[in-house]
Amino acid sequence: MPTSRPGGEIRRQMLASMILVRAFENRLSKLVADKDDVLGMQILATGQEASSVASVQALAPEDVIVSNHRSHGHLLARNADIKAIMAEIMGKATGVNRGKSGTLHLIVPEVNALMTSTVVGAGPSMAAGAAFAQQYKGERAITAVFFGDGAAAEGNVHEAMNLAGVWKLPLLFICENNCWAGAQALKEHCAVGNIAVRASSYGMPGKLVDGNDADEVHSAVSELAEYCRSGKGPALLEAYTYRMRGHGEHDHQHYVAKEELELWAAKDPIRIYRARLVQEGLLTEENVRVMERDATARVEEAVRFATESPFPAPEAAVEDVWVQSPWAGR
pLDDT on residue 133: 97
Q: Three-class SS of residue 144?
A: strand
Neighbours of 107 (CB within 10 A): 16
Residue 62 lies in a domain: yes
Residue 314 lies in a domain: no
pLDDT on residue 17: 98
Q: What percentage of the chain exceeds 70 in pLDDT?
A: 98
| CATH number of the domain to which 118 belongs | 3.40.50.970
Residue 327 lies in a domain: no
pLDDT on residue 35: 79
Give the integer Cα–Cα distance in Å for 115 and 145.
Answer: 10
If you average pLDDT over every residue of the chain, what do you get? 92
pLDDT on residue 2: 55
Residue 174 lies in a domain: yes
Give the integer Cα–Cα distance in Å for 266 and 52.
Answer: 19
Residue 87 lies in a domain: yes
Residue 324 lies in a domain: no
Residue 325 lies in a domain: no
Residue 312 lies in a domain: no
Q: What is the pLDDT of residues 135-149, one digit of tens each?
A: 999 999 999 999 998
Contacts of 110 (CB under 8 A, 6+ apart): 80
> Cβ(124)–Cβ(147) under 8 Å?
yes
Q: What is the pLDDT of residues 164-209, one digit of tens each?
A: 999 999 999 999 998 888 888 878 887 887 899 999 999 999 999 9
What averages of pLDDT result for each successive group of 10 residues across the chain (330 residues)?
A: 76 98 95 80 92 98 96 96 96 94 90 91 95 97 95 92 98 93 82 89 96 97 98 97 88 89 94 97 97 98 96 89 72
pLDDT on residue 117: 86
* Domain span at 209: 8-244+254-306
Total structural domains in the chain? Answer: 1
